[in-house]
Structure 1
Amino acid sequence: MAARGAIRRGFSTATDPVTAVREFSEAIAQEDIALIVFFCSFSFDLNVLEPELRRAFDGLHVIGCTTAGEIAPIGYLDGAITGFSIASSHCRAVSTGIENLSQFQMSDGHAVTQTLISSMSEKGLALDPKDTFAMLLIDGKSGNEEVVLAAIHLLMDMVPLLGGSAGDNMSLTGAFVYFDGAFHRDAALLTVIKIRAPFRIVKCQHLVGSEMRMVVTRADPLKRKVFELNAEPAAREYARAQNVPECMLAPAVFSAFPLMVKVGGDFHVRSIQAAHEDGSLSFFCAIDEGVVLRLARTEAILPNLAALFQSVRAEIGPPTLIIGFDCIHRGLALEQTQSKRLAGELLAANNVIGFSTYGEQFGGMHLNQTFTAVAIGAPYDIE
């Protein structure tokens, strides 16, 4: 029996939460659903959206989060809800929520990992990297992504992991993760998905490090805030290096002129979140005194993304679904070059469902200004 319809994608652009949930649920409806994943705009009234989601998907395994923009079957959207369902014939999934991230300890991560492994074992399921991956959804304002990833290393040693930091439409007040029928702030959700289809965990970025360097000379690592670069006020020194007025520092500038660190032989972005009146800069990723930051050189996003999808197709064939976590700064960069519509069409052509994030997870790394994804090929026939 062919696996036709085992994965169904859908979305709604309705601003009314009741209508949006109804249209979304109709789009992904199928018999015997094992997992539903959704990504929704922070602009929805979550007090209305939450009970509607419970009513529409009563008794089903439903997870999701708020966003800084959505990736739907028609490309980039703002103010929508999008997601997918997978039939139980081709998917088994177990989730464990993590609350009170602001008080998170390494031991909490160990407990979560053990709970997931035990839950899978109770269902007679093995954590096999050939058919299993893990997905992390986490409050992007928590500032605890690196700690959580370090604490769940045991799971990452067993299966590949990816994920995204939930957003709040750049209001920077706090994002929500949905599990157990409710939206949770200051929370994360770790899900293990076992799937009867070929898949690959992939990532790409359109930035490389230059030779222009700045040293973090005063910082508050816990708050991801830098006060001085090269012993100068951080915002002023960053603006000087970019040759822009300090008063013009805003997300569009941060996305166009990011900073990077070199870890091993690879460059990783450290995206700036905001500039503050005291001259400091806050970041979306871990930062510390003594770190050497390099100004990034930008390459074209579209060819870079197209090459990623070509490699996916070469490995697993045309993707039935790609769950994509796309940094909000990539979307801002596309807007600056007036190429966001073309990028959205490329995402739609490759069946990407996802959202604009405040950070991306790939293995044990918390990243910025990348596109991380799990690409899922055509589901295997049922034997």
Structure 2
Amino acid sequence: MSTATNPVQAARELHAQLVQDDASLVLFFCAPEYETSGFARTLNELFGPALVVGCTSAGEITPDGYLDNAVTGISFARPTFEAAAVRLGPLKDFELTRCGDVAEALRATLRARLGHPPRHEFAMVLLDGLSQREELVMSCLGGVLSDIPVFGASAGDGLTFEHTSVFVDGAFHTDSGVLLLVGSDVPVRPFRNQHFVSSGKRMVVTGADPARRVVTEINAEPAVAEYARVIGYEVDALTPMVFATHPLVVRLGGAEYVRSIQKANPDGSLTFYCAIDEGLVLTLAEGRDLYSRLEDLFAEIRSEIGEPAAVIGFDCVLRKLECERNQTKHKVARLLQANRVIGFSTFGEQFRSMHVNQTFTGVAIGRAEEPDA
């Protein structure tokens, strides 16, 4: 990680910590201030032939815990890890018909580099967090890659919601995504962890613009006013912190998924982080202990693959805001540190074929087996 304010210096510091012989992959997550040609050029020069993939963030998860205005990363090397990636974009013109061809071509590339099918494999997707195309992309990729774990995240830019980008093919790109395949000799364990459950307080979306993720009416009333009434707040008191601690839940396929609110609009509508359709039944969410849920997750990981060598973790920015409000941010950060998490605070998370909110999503990477004596 680096907190250097000069992007070129930050790239050099990152390289000094991540360089290793025969590196196959470098992942990084950075504050939007690092999205410069100098940062990109320096990464390309220093890491040479290694595949470099990353994105802008709404905060970084580093070896020192939660940080802002930083860059953090992790590198992988052969022969234990091999990787291949492809840019997806422009997302506004993303074609479902090409999705299968792109994914299969990438799988063929990975196998050619390995020379054999991987023992373990996962797919990671990073997407422009303002593209509003996550549902389309993930429904496609989740179908064509149904036999391997698929997870990912939406890039952020603090809480500005103006400009997010992904890094692939040696440069930052907007209106784009990246599909990364990783083959490994060590076990991997994908995960999705959330701490909200349904309270049973129902509300119906009676007016919506799904393409813009905007809800205009709830229970046949202006969305902002009705949401504020249900949670017991005045409209003027609605803030990102309130949205973080009072999300909604939808039940799909027997599982509960959080639907988080991004902002209240002057016209009385609500903008969500996920697509919301008219007629959808939502319930107000009830929070459980975030820290305990994370402890349980890491215990499950250790029971399945042993002590992880590293965890790539994508944590919704609203979870960080909740931890700040509850004054548990440092406690949660220490738990992430102890479990070797590298990642970032996101504008949304992807898991299998779903775009989700207010989760901690990613993959735990096991350790190489000790050779027999």
Q: TM-score range by the shorter chain?
A: over 0.9
**Residues 298/153 of structure 1: CA separation in 2 closer, same or farther (3 Å cut):** closer
Residues 301-360 of structure 1, C-alpha deviation per residue, up to 9 Å, x if partnerless? 111101111111111111110000101110010000011011001000000000001111
- C-alpha deviation, 1:195, in angstroms: 1.0
Which structure 1 segments of 5+ residues have no match? 1-10
Which structure 2 segments of 5+ residues have no match? none
Match of 2:132 among 139, 143, 160: 143
Structure 1 window deviating more from structure 2 (312-321 vs 178-187): it is: 312-321
What is the aligned partner in structure 2 of residue 305 from structure 1?
294
- C-alpha deviation, 1:122, in angstroms: 3.4
Match of 1:212 among 201, 206, 230: 201
- C-alpha deviation, 1:127, in angstroms: 5.5
Q: How does 1:151-230 map to 2 (within 5 A)?
A: 151-230=140-219
What is the aligned partner in structure 1 of residue 41 from structure 2?
51
Match of 1:248 among 209, 216, 237: 237
Other structure's SS at 1:325 match? strand
Q: How high is the sequence identity, in percent, across the aligned residues? A: 44
Other structure's SS at 2:157 match? coil
Structure 1 window deviating more from structure 2 (22-31 vs 40-49): it is: 40-49
- C-alpha deviation, 1:50, in angstroms: 1.7
Match of 1:38 among 28, 31, 34: 28
1-side partners of 2:267 and 2:39: how far apart? 38
Moved over 6 A (4+): none
Other structure's SS at 1:285 match? coil
Q: 2:107 aligned with 1:117, yes or no?
A: yes
Other structure's SS at 1:237 match? helix
Q: 2:343 aligned with 1:354, yes or no?
A: yes
Match of 2:275 among 267, 281, 286: 286
Q: 2:6 aligned with 1:16, yes or no?
A: yes
What is the aligned partner in structure 2 of residue 7 from structure 1?
none
Match of 1:363 among 347, 352, 360: 352
1:93–1:191 Cα contact (<8 Å) kept: yes
- C-alpha deviation, 1:14, in angstroms: 1.2
How many residue pairs align between the two structures? 372
1-side partners of 2:253 and 2:71: how far apart? 39
Other structure's SS at 1:186 match? coil
2:82–2:114 Cα contact (<8 Å) kept: no
Match of 2:18 among 22, 25, 28: 28
- C-alpha deviation, 1:157, in angstroms: 1.7
1:174–1:186 Cα contact (<8 Å) kept: no
Query: What amino acid maps onto 1:145 in structure 2?
Result: E
2:143–2:353 Cα contact (<8 Å) kept: no
1:127–1:159 Cα contact (<8 Å) kept: no
1-side partners of 2:144 and 2:244: how far apart? 32
1:210–1:296 Cα contact (<8 Å) kept: yes
**Residues 51/123 of structure 1: CA separation in 2 closer, same or farther (3 Å cut):** closer
What is the aligned partner in structure 2 of residue 8 from structure 1?
none
TM-score normalised per structure 1? 0.94
- C-alpha deviation, 1:24, in angstroms: 0.9
**Residues 245/119 of structure 1: CA separation in 2 closer, same or farther (3 Å cut):** same
Other structure's SS at 2:251 match? strand
Match of 1:77 among 67, 74, 93: 67
What is the aligned partner in structure 1 of residue 225 from structure 2?
236
What is the aligned partner in structure 2 of residue 314 from structure 1?
303
TM-score normalised per structure 2? 0.96
Other structure's SS at 1:169 match? coil
1-side partners of 2:116 and 2:128: how far apart? 29
1:70–1:80 Cα contact (<8 Å) kept: yes
Residues 122-142 of structure 1, C-alpha deviation per residue, up to 9 Å, x if partnerless? 3355555x5011000111111
2-side partners of 1:360 and 1:57: how far apart? 28
Other structure's SS at 1:152 match? helix
Query: What amino acid maps onto 1:81 in structure 2?
Result: V
2-side partners of 1:122 and 1:248: how far apart? 56
2-side partners of 1:282 and 1:267: how far apart? 20
What is the aligned partner in structure 1 of residue 246 from structure 2?
257
What is the root-mean-square deviation in Å for CA atoms of aligned residues?
1.5
Residues 203-260 of structure 1, C-alpha deviation per residue, up to 9 Å, x if partnerless? 2101000111111101001111100001111011111111111112221011010011
Residues 80-103 of structure 1, C-alpha deviation per residue, up to 9 Å, x if partnerless? 110111111211111011111012
Other structure's SS at 1:123 match? helix
- C-alpha deviation, 1:361, in angstroms: 1.0
What is the aligned partner in structure 2 of residue 275 from structure 1?
264
1:138–1:188 Cα contact (<8 Å) kept: yes
